[in-house]
Amino acid sequence: MPELSRFFGIIIRMFMEVGAQHHIPHFHAYYQEEVGIFSIDPVELIAGSLPRRQTRLVVAWAELHQQELIADWEALQQGRAPAAIEPLK
pLDDT tens digit sequence for 53-81: 999 999 999 999 999 999 999 999 888 99
Residue 82, domain member (yes or no): no
Residue 87, domain member (yes or no): no
Residue 86, domain member (yes or no): no
**What is the number of domains present in the chain?**
1
Closest CA to 27 of 10, 44, 15: 15
Residue 65, domain member (yes or no): yes
Residue 32, domain member (yes or no): yes
Closest CA to 58 of 84, 86, 38, 85: 38
**pLDDT confidence of residue 21:** 60
**pLDDT confidence of residue 1:** 83
Residue 33, domain member (yes or no): yes
pLDDT per position as a tens digit, 13-59: 998 776 666 678 999 999 999 999 999 999 999 999 999 999 999 99
**pLDDT confidence of residue 77:** 87
Residue 85, domain member (yes or no): no
Banded pLDDT at 88 (limits 50, 70, 90): very high
Its domain, for residue 59, covers: 3-77
pTM, two decimal places: 0.92
Residue 88, domain member (yes or no): no
